[in-house]
């Protein structure tokens, strides 16, 4: 289990309005971590090993106010472990009621006495427990086709399966899913991405589709509305082709049906080389400007940071696996005219990867499909415009019901 630390908000933690402000929250996140270490290997665990952790990157999101006197539960989980760095995710919930009030992701690097990066002490690894520790919390891990797969399942009713894009994770839907009450919302991390395990091999679009169907089996879901973002759409198409009885409706978000042409395949090879030789940070530098609309890049720093962190912390084996899977993916164009379930196509007006006209023509080829254009968004509408995205999906689902 990840360590849970309770901290009561004192008046000295609060700003003039009587709430914990951003700066004070950073201090509380820090305190919760050191308290957790104090209850485990000791606050001197780094010093004992001759290293010191320094923060390389922090991103935080705040969801609710926390007045003085509130008792907060801080949970710290290790989500990514490198040789010299570790990524910690901290969530804060109200002790009574468990409402989520804030979350933060922090990348730490261990430095030796000479100031150079040094290995993360084994004691820290075993205390925070690389993969097992993240198996508790708001999501669960299920063994899907022998891969520990992180999945959020919320609510009851018609099942809606949210499949994220590349090289992201289920949290792209974080602000889209909560308003869609009255449905069973299922959001997994595909194998190799997010907090799912990343086997060395075994990546293909049909394999992801098999995983999704195995997940539905485990959850006792006979059929679902498959909602796929970009690569998630490629997976949804494969489910339509090979498991039509499991798909009652389709939502294609910033996606397309064609397979890769020669130039796209070369670009995949170049990205594989980049990740293998330079790491996921280089991939983030390349992709962030393409994934987000130019305006989102200047006006939405937390979204930029979130996307960057997701890419940087994605396991390299999962990232290169996904690139090979997309490069080899089957062309789904032949399916379009034969799709017999209600379909919604959503496009971002500023999508630099899949032009609007392309998405519009795809919708026109699917019998009866509805097309919606979301302004103020690029390739990642669920992150750039979560409110409108959620509303459009909600209206589509209401009409099905």
Q: What is the binding site for ligand MLT (CB under 6 A)?
A: 165-166, 230-231, 326, 353, 379
Q: Locate 307 and state its tokens.
A: 């996307």
Which residue lies nearer to ligand MLT by CB, 31 or 175? 175
Choose between 127 and 166: whose C-beta lies nearer to ligand MLT: 166
Cβ-based nearer residue to ligand MLT, 86 or 253: 253
Closest separation between CB of residue 330 and ligand MLT, Å? 13
CA atoms of 184 and 209, how far apart (whole Å): 19
Q: What would the two tokens of residue 254 be?
A: 């910033």
166/371 with CB nearer ligand MLT: 166
As beta bridge partners, residue 227 has 162, 251
In the bound state with ligand MLT, the residue whose beta carbon lies nearer, of 213 and 253, is 253
Question: Under the phi-then-psi rule, with left for phi > 0, alpha for psi from -120 to 50, and beta for the rest, what region is 254?
Answer: left
**Edge-to-edge strand ranges of the sheet holding 100-112:** 4-8, 71-81, 85-94, 100-112, 51-62
Residue 69 CB, nearest distance to ligand MLT (Å)? Answer: 44
Nearest to 211 by CA among 126, 143, 155: 143
What is the rounded distance in angstroms from the CA atom of residue 162 to the CA atom of residue 149?
14
Task: Kindly tell me which of 103 and 312 has the beta carbon lying closer to ligand MLT.
Answer: 312
Work out how close the CB of 8 gets to ligand MLT at its nearest, in angstroms, rounded to a whole number.
Answer: 42
CB of 250 to ligand MLT, least distance (A): 16
Cβ contact 28:72 at 8 Å: yes
Minimum distance from residue 353 beta carbon to ligand MLT (Å):
5
Nearest distance from residue 127's CB to ligand MLT, in Å?
Answer: 35
Nearest-angstrom CA–CA distance, 84 and 92: 26
């Amino acid at each position: 289990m990840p360590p849970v630390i309770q901290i009561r908000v004192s008046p000295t933690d609060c700003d003039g309005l009587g709430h914990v402000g951003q700066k004070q929250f950073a201090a509380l996140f820090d305190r919760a971590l050191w308290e957790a270490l104090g209850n485990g290997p000791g606050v001197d665990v780094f010093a004992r090993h001759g290293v010191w952790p320094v923060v390389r990157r922090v991103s935080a999101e705040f969801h609710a106010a926390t007045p003085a006197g509130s008792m907060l539960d801080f949970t710290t989980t290790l989500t990514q472990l490198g040789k010299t760095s570790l990524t910690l995710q901290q969530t804060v919930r109200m002790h009574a009621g468990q409402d989520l009030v804030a979350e933060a992701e922090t990348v730490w690097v261990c430095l030796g006495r000479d100031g150079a990066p040094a290995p993360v002490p084994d004691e820290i690894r075993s205390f925070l427990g690389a993969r097992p520790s993240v198996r508790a919390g708001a999501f669960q891990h299920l063994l899907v086709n022998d891969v520990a797969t992180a999945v959020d399942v919320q609510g009851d009713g018609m099942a809606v399966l949210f499949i994220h894009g590349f090289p992201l994770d289920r949290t792209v839907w974080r602000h889209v899913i909560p308003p869609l009450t009255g449905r069973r919302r299922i959001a997994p991390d595909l194998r190799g991405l997010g907090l799912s395990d990343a086997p060395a091999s075994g990546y293909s679009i049909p394999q992801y589709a098999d995983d999704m169907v195995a997940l539905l089996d485990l959850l006792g879901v006979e059929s679902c509305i498959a909602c796929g973002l970009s690569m998630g759409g490629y997976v949804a198409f494969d489910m339509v082709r090979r498991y039509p009885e499991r798909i009652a409706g389709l939502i294609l978000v910033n996606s397309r049906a064609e397979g890769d042409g020669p130039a796209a395949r070369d670009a995949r090879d170049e990205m594989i080389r980049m990740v293998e030789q330079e790491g996921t940070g280089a991939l983030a530098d390349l992709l962030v400007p393409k994934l987000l609309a130019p305006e989102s890049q200047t006006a939405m720093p937390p979204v930029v940071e979130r996307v960057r962190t997701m890419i940087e912390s994605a396991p390299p084996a999962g990232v290169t696996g996904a690139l090979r899977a997309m490069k080899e993916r089957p062309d789904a164009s032949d399916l379009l005219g034969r799709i017999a379930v209600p379909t919604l196509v959503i496009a971002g007006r500023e999508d630099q990867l899949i032009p609007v006209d392309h998405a519009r023509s795809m919708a026109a080829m699917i019998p009866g499909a509805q097309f919606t254009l979301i302004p103020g968004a690029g390739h990642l509408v669920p992150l750039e415009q979560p409110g409108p995205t959620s509303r459009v999906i909600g209206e589509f689902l209401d009409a099905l019901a």
